[in-house]
Amino acid sequence: MGLARSTILWVADNRRLREHLPRYRFVRRSVARFMPGESLDDALEAARRLGDRGLPTMFTALGENVNDLSEARSVKEHYLEVFDRIAAAGLDTEVSVKPTHLGLDLDRETTLANLEELAAKAAEHDNWLWLDMESAPYVDGTLELYGKLRSGQPNVGICLQAYLKRTARDLDDLMPLDPTIRLVKGAYREPDEIVFRSRAAISEAYRRLALLILARKGQVGRLALGTHDVDLIRTIEADLGGHDGFEVHMLYGIRQNDLLRMTAGGVKARSLIAYGTYWYPWFMRRIAENPTKNILLALRNLVARG
């Protein structure tokens, strides 16, 4: 892992900095690049604007690792409302959640019950529920939750990380379920032994996994390439001889023009909009993905007046 990336991911995990940095104006200004605002209304408004330009969206309420189950219940209640608000607004917007936001650190059965309720609500609105993939200690638990959810309902997706060496094996177990998968490179600070390190190795793992999923995909399952790496998307497209069979999902504020261009060219695409007040660790992972560009941007915000 590059020194800059690992240092930023360390800063993301550091409790003192996590408490202090968000108070600085330049940090708050920098985060605005990646989110339209902190409230659900801000996210709905952004989804409406992107929808008007032909781009469907996905919402995630920022938060992770809740400390008690009542907090997890509030998060579930919030997402139930989110599905209703999306439907009432007539938006093509799906929802993605972090399992630890719904209690995975505390109790698996309760987490599953929370997720089942959300998946049922998604089905009621003909919508989809996705599970994000968090750091390595949560992979087994998340896969287990997904297996149970998917055996009950088709409209659920899971994120898999190409940088994890185990992912090819996990796919073997998942494919009989006809899963819906968002494939990403992976955003966390992980031990050397369990991940591919070089950019080339991660991209190659990503390409192989994408092709494997497409070769074995069933009737229901979808594949979303969750990446801003347009060259990698083009390579996969060339391997396949077209863009049928996969979607492209990107994060709000990153390479949006590329995504809009793809949509115009017939690629199914979606922009993931994050919102909420607990943005710090999520924001630091975004900075770590492109340290040079994002640190320069933050410095510009630091010196800017107003």
Q: Which parts of this chain interact with ligand FDA (CB under 6 A)?
A: 132-133, 159, 161, 182, 184-188, 226-229, 249-251, 254-255, 272, 286, 289-290, 293-294
Task: Write down the least CB distance from residue 163 to ligand FDA, Å.
Answer: 8
Residue among 66 and 273 whose Cβ is closer to ligand FDA: 273
| β-pair type (223-226, 246-251) | parallel
146: nearest Cα among 178, 101, 190: 178
What one-character DSSP code corresponds to residue 67?
Answer: S
Strand partners, 60: 274
Residue among 94 and 305 whose Cβ is closer to ligand FDA: 94
Residue among 112 and 250 whose Cβ is closer to ligand FDA: 250
Concerning whether 53 is annotated as a catalytic residue, the answer is: no
Task: Write down the least CB distance from residue 297 to ligand FDA, Å.
Answer: 8
Out of 150, 182, 189, 286, the active site residue is 182
Task: Write down the least CB distance from residue 270 to ligand FDA, Å.
Answer: 7
Residue among 188 and 196 whose Cβ is closer to ligand FDA: 188
What six digits make up the tokens of 31?
């985060």
List of residues 6+ apart from 118 with CB closer than 8 A: 76, 79, 80, 83, 95, 97, 102, 129
Compute the distance between CA of residue 246 and CA of residue 149 in angstroms, rounded to an integer. Answer: 22
What one-character DSSP code corresponds to residue 103?
Answer: T
Chain position carrying tokens 């087994």: 140
Is 243 within 8 Å of 237 (Cβ atoms)? Answer: yes
Task: Write down the least CB distance from residue 14 to ligand FDA, Å.
Answer: 19
Concerning whether 132 is annotated as a catalytic residue, the answer is: yes
Task: Write down the least CB distance from residue 267 to ligand FDA, Å.
Answer: 14
Residue among 186 and 221 whose Cβ is closer to ligand FDA: 186
Helix (H, G, I), strand (E, B) or coil at 55: coil
* Crossing angle for the helix pair 3-13 and 291-303, to the nearest 10 degrees: 60
Is 245 within 8 Å of 218 (Cβ atoms)? Answer: no
Out of 105, 132, 270, 286, the active site residue is 132
Compute the distance between CA of residue 34 and CA of residue 150 in angstroms, rounded to an integer. Answer: 31
Catalytic amino acids?
132, 182
